[in-house]
Amino acid sequence: MFIIAPSILSADFTRLGEEVVNVIESGADWIHFDVMDNHYVPNLTIGPLVCAAIRPLTQATIDVHLMVKPVDQMILAFAKAGANLITFHPEASAHIDRSLALIRENGCQAGLVFNPATPLDYLDYVMDKIDVVLLMSVNPGFGGQQFIASTLLKLKAARAKLEAYERQSGRKILLQVDGGVKVENIAEIARAGADAFVAGSAIYGASKASDPHRYDSIIAALRAELVNR
């Protein structure tokens, strides 16, 4: 019932294919794919070409987190490159409803991402077009940052909104969190209402050896915390 989504931002890019396969074989659920454009965020990462390259290596959901502005052209490119889920920041789209519809029209699940200071109000009129709500628990742009504590309150508020919607529509929307998630805090984050957890440095930083099972223990440790939350 909980989803663990390692962010490949912290993977060894000289061996990216192995890093994707190993983390899924070690028990992770999704591959979180961080796309940055040096415009919406002050960093530059990977694009649709890399998504298409890893697509044949795994059946796992490729969860594309767009930190780019504008978004529509990249939605089309990532849908074509094999993404399963595409999320974007409302500040980065001039027409949020249209961008959400575009994601679904191209066969993917859709989500909105909220920066630490972005209000949840953007959800109010588009709930029916959303499969995932992603709350940033760091300011986007870099891996390895500290979890921002106020995200716990925001998770509770988002969980309440999503539960009210689920009661009325019968449809479940996942609540995802991204940034600074670790073994030490994942239980508390789950108690605040999250059901999908992005972790970059905590997972890929856990071990550097070339053992294909080296992520088993870190993923098991995260899951154990979720079970005992």
Please tell me whether residue 90 binds ligand DX5 under the rule CB under 6 A: no
**Sole binder of ligand DX5 in the list 62, 103, 181, 186 (CB under 6 A):** 181
Minimum CB separation of residue 197 from ligand DX5 in Å reads: 9
Please tell me whether residue 196 binds ligand DX5 under the rule CB under 6 A: no
CA distances 29 to 85, 100, 196, 222, Å, are: 13, 23, 9, 12
Residue with tokens 């000289």: 14
CA distances 190 to 24, 49, 147, 170, 185, Å, are: 21, 34, 14, 22, 9
Comparing C-alpha atoms, which of 95, 105, 100, 102 is closest to residue 129? 100
Write the binding mask 170 to 189 for Zn ion: x where contact by CB under 5 A, - elsewhere.
--------x-----------
> Strand (E) positions, 100-146?
109-114, 132-136
Please tell me whether residue 202 binds ligand DX5 under the rule CB under 6 A: yes
- Please confirm, yes or no, whether 216 is among the known catalytic residues: no
- Please confirm, yes or no, whether 195 is among the known catalytic residues: no
Please tell me whether residue 65 binds Zn ion under the rule CB under 5 A: yes
Nearest-CB residue to Zn ion?
65
Nearest residue (CB) to Zn ion, 23 versus 164? 23
Site for ligand DX5 in 104-143 (CB under 6 A): 138, 140-143
Minimum CB separation of residue 9 from Zn ion in Å reads: 7
Site for Zn ion in 129-148 (CB under 5 A): none
**Sole binder of ligand DX5 in the list 106, 115, 118, 145 (CB under 6 A):** 145
- Catalytic one of 34, 37, 131, 195: 34
* Structural contact between residues 78 and 66, judged by C-beta atoms closer than 8 angstroms: yes
Q: b/e for 185-224, b at 16 or more Cβ within 10 A?
A: bbbebbebbbbbbbbbbbbbebeeeeeeebbbebbeebee
Q: Which residues are catalytic?
A: 34, 178
